[in-house]
Amino acid sequence: MVEPKFFETIAPAYDFLTRLFMGGTYESMRKRMLNEDTSQMDILDLCCGTGYISNSINARRIVGLDQSEAMLARNARVKRGNKELIKGNAYQINFKEGEFDRIYNSSASHEFKLFSRLLQKSFHALKPGGKIIIFDIYQPKNTLLRLFMNTFVKYVVERGIMFVHTKEEWARMVTEAGFEIEELEPVRGLYIFVKARKPEQAGLPAAA
Ligand SMILES: C[S@@+](CC[C@H](N)C(=O)[O-])C[C@H]1O[C@@H](n2cnc3c(N)ncnc32)[C@H](O)[C@@H]1O
CA–CA separation, 182 and 204 (whole Å) = 21
CA–CA separation, 155 and 101 (whole Å) = 36
CA of 20 to the centre of ligand 1 (A): 18
Is residue 201 situated within a structural domain?
no
* pLDDT, average across residues 123-150: 97
Is residue 207 situated within a structural domain?
no
CB burial of 138-159 (b: ≥16 within 10 Å; e: otherwise) equals bbbeeeebbeebeeebbeeebe
The pLDDT of residue 4 is: 66
Using the predicted structure, report yes or no on whether residue 208 has a pLDDT greater than 50: no
Using the predicted structure, report yes or no on whether residue 2 has a pLDDT greater than 90: no
Which residue has the CA at smallest separation from atom 9 of ligand 1?
52
- Residue 47 CB–ligand 1 contact under 6 Å: yes
CA of 106 to the centre of ligand 1 (A): 8
CATH number of the domain residue 65 falls in: 3.40.50.150
CA–CA separation, 32 and 27 (whole Å) = 9
Q: What is the pLDDT of residues 53-108, one digit of tens each?
A: 999 999 999 999 999 999 999 999 999 999 999 999 999 999 999 999 999 999 99
Query: What total of structural domains would you count in the chain?
Result: 1
Q: Which domain holds residue 72?
A: 4-191
Is residue 138 situated within a structural domain?
yes
